[in-house]
Amino acid sequence: MLQITVASDEDSALCPVRNILAKVTGKWQCLILLALEDGPERFGKIKRLIGDITQRVLTQNLRSLERDGYITRTVHAGPPLAVSYELTALGRELVGVLKPLVTWAAGSFDTVMGSRVAYDRSLRDKT
C-alpha cells in the first residue's frame, strides 16, 4: 500500500498523494480537464461545456491547473484578442487516468443513489 499516513501538517504538505489529489480530484478540476480532452478551447466554450460554473471559479481553477502543469494558456493576437487553454502531456496523462473513474461514476450512479436512499431510510426508521 502507498504511504498515506502522516504525523504532522508539514508531512501532510509534503505527501505526494495528498498534495496531488487535493489539486486534481475536485469537481471543477476534473470537469475542466475533461472539457479540454478533445483539444484547445476558449474560456467561454469551457464555461458553456461545464454549465454551472461561475466565471470566478473557472478562472481560479484554470490558473491552478496551469500552475501545476496540466494545461497551457495561449494568448492569440487579435483583433479580437483570444485566449485558449489546452492540455499538456501531463494533463493528457491525467485525463487518461480520470476517464475510467468518470466512466465508473456514470455507470454506478443508480447503484450509489439507491444506496443513499436505503441508508437515509434506515436512519429515519431508527428515529
Query: What share of the chain in percent tops pLDDT 90?
Result: 72
Domain count, the chain: 1
Measured torsion, CA atoms of residues 18, 84, 59, 38, in degrees rounded to the nearest 10 = -50
Q: Which residues constitute the domain of residue 76?
A: 9-126
Which three cell numbers, joined as nine digits, stand for 76?
492569440
Mean of per-residue pLDDT scores for the chain? 92
Residue 1 lies in a domain: no
Decide if 2 is inside a domain.
no
What's 90's domain CATH number?
1.10.10.10
For 77-86, write each residue's pLDDT tens digit. 878 889 999 9
Q: Is residue 89 part of a domain?
A: yes
In this prediction, residue 6 carries a pLDDT of 78
What is the tens place of the pLDDT at every residue in 61-79?
Answer: 999 999 999 999 999 987 8
pLDDT of res. 105: 94
Alpha-carbon gap, residue 18 to 12, rounded angstroms: 7
Nearest to 123 by CA among 110, 112, 115: 115
Q: Tens digits of per-residue pLDDT, 42-54?
A: 999 999 999 999 9
Tell me how far apart the alpha carbons of residues 24 and 30 are, in angstroms, rounded to a whole number: 6
Return contacts of 16-23, CB within 8 angstroms, 24+ apart: 23/64, 23/68
